[in-house]
Structure 1
């Protein structure tokens, strides 16, 4: 996990409550609800979220694409921030991987003279 967190830091500078890429090629990105050191921390799959809405002060309902819902003891603003940071990380990492993949294929060796 530390290696994934360091990767996130290198890609977009996020250092606290860092989202991580489990498998970027299949879109598996997760983010923590609180500090990963907190025993109540849950990891949420970014692509499985349908919507979130505030429940009350300090709690948020996360609705998944399956229709299931969970309540987390995290403010709506903090959850929105985590979702947006994960989206930014996904975009930047995907662009980096796409660029690397294309540049690897476009390299042509110089002919011998």
Structure 2
């Protein structure tokens, strides 16, 4: 039976050591991002994904940051974007280039924030 993408993301988060809602709350806490949040599925393995739309919507796709090679505006339909992956496969999405670039930037910021070592407890050492 085919599972919805959000269910697969939630299961992957559990394999990565935390539940989806906890990961999303941590992203908000560390970055201030509250909508279409990138999700650190397994931060120690550098597995980060981001939604193209609200995860509640049927048309939402999940993209894995480190698998994306490039993004290009569709030449005939400027509201659509061609995503090229490192394996050279392409995916046409009904999402603007601006929106996907913004999601890439937000995910990059999330990666940086989750890669930093906590300093708030250093005074206890």
Q: TM-score range by the shorter chain?
A: 0.7 to 0.9
In the alignment of these two chains, the number of paired residues is 101
Query: Aligned residue for 1:7?
Result: 26
- Aligned partners of 1:54 and 1:2: how far apart in 2? 32
Q: For 1:1-113, list aligned pairs within 5 A.
A: 1-55=20-74, 56-95=77-116, 99-100=117-118, 107=125
TM-score (norm 1): 0.84
RMSD of aligned alpha carbons: 1.6
Counterparts of 1:8 and 1:77, CA distance in 2: 22
- Tell me the secondary structure at the aligned position of residue 110 of structure 2: helix
Gap regions ≥5 residues in structure 1: 108-113
Q: Which runs of 5+ in 2 are unaligned?
A: 1-19
* 1:66-87 alpha-carbon deviations (Å, 9 max, x no partner): 1111011100000000000000
| Poorly superposed stretches of 4+, deviation over 2 Å | none
Q: Which one has the bigger strand percentage?
A: 1
